[in-house]
Amino acid sequence: MGTSGIVEKVVVITGASSGLGESTAKLLARQGAKVVLGARRKDRIDAVVNEISAAGGKAVGFAVDVTKRVEVEALIKGAVDSFGRVDVLVNNAGIMPIAPIHLLKVEEWDRQIDINIKGVLYGVAAVLPQMQKQKSGHIINLASVFGIKVFAPGGTVYCATKSAVRALTEGLRMELHSENIRCTIISPGAVESELKNGTSDPSSAAFVKDLYRRSPFRPIRLLAPCCTPLNNLRTWRSMKLLCVPPRRTSEAR
C-alpha cells in the first residue's frame, strides 16, 4: 500500500525516545510526515530529532512526562505552534513491570496506571479540542495482545491496564466518529524495545527476557501495517491490529 496519505501530516508521538516510538517517528518522517516527539529523556529526543532532520525530515521534540497533564498539554501546544495543527496522536508511552500479585508491588501498580491508562487519557484530553476545532483527526492508542489474553502469574496488572486502553479506544471511536475523528487500537506482541527492562522481580525479569529472546519483533517490522489508517483517513473509522510473532499469522480486523 502506498504512503502518499502521510505526506505533510502532523503526527505527535509519546514515548518517542526509543523502541516503537522512535521507529515510528523515523519511518513516518521518511514518508513525509511532520513528526513531534515527546518523552522524558530530552537528550534522547534531541538525538532522534537531529537524526531525522539530518536525513531531510521535519521533526521537533519536547520533554514530557505523560503522568503530568500540564506537560502533555504543552506537547500538543508545541505541535500546533510548530506546524499549525495535529493530524494524528500516537499514545505510545508505556511500561511493563511484571511480578506475581502476591509480591504486592503496589508502587509499580500505581506507576502502570499512571502511565498506561492516565497517560493515554491525558493525551486524549490535550489533543481533542484541537481535533474538534480542525473537524478531523486520528487517535492511535498502543494496547497489547495481553490486553486480549491475560497471562498470570506476573502480568495481571499490566494486562488490566492494556484491557483498559482497548475499552477506552472503542468508547472513543463510538463517541467521536461523527466528528470525523478516527480511533485505532494497536495490539502488538513481543517487540524488541526497552519495555522488557522494567521488571524489578528477578524471576519475572528472567521470564520476560526469555519471552523476548524466543519471539521478538523488530519495531520496523511492526510499523508498516500500523501506518495503514494514516493512508486512508477518509475511509477508516477504527482499526484493531493484532501483531503476533513472525511465524504466525497477522490479523487486521
Among the listed residues 57, 87, 55, 91, the one whose alpha carbon sits nearest the alpha carbon of residue 72: 91
Q: Which of 62, 83, 122, 158 is catalytic?
A: 158
* DSSP E strand boundaries for the chain: 10-14, 34-39, 58-63, 88-91, 137-142, 181-187, 240-242, 251-252
- Does the annotation count 212 as an active-site position? no
Do 144 and 112 form a contact (C-beta atoms < 8 A)? Answer: no
User: Which cell is 155 given?
Assistant: 502480568
Do 236 and 202 form a contact (C-beta atoms < 8 A)? Answer: no
Peptide bond into 153 cis (omega under 30): yes
Greatest alpha-carbon pair distance for the chain in Å reads 51
Q: For residue 190, what are the β-bridge partners? A: none
User: Which cell is 24 given?
Assistant: 515510528
Which are the catalytic amino acids?
A: 158
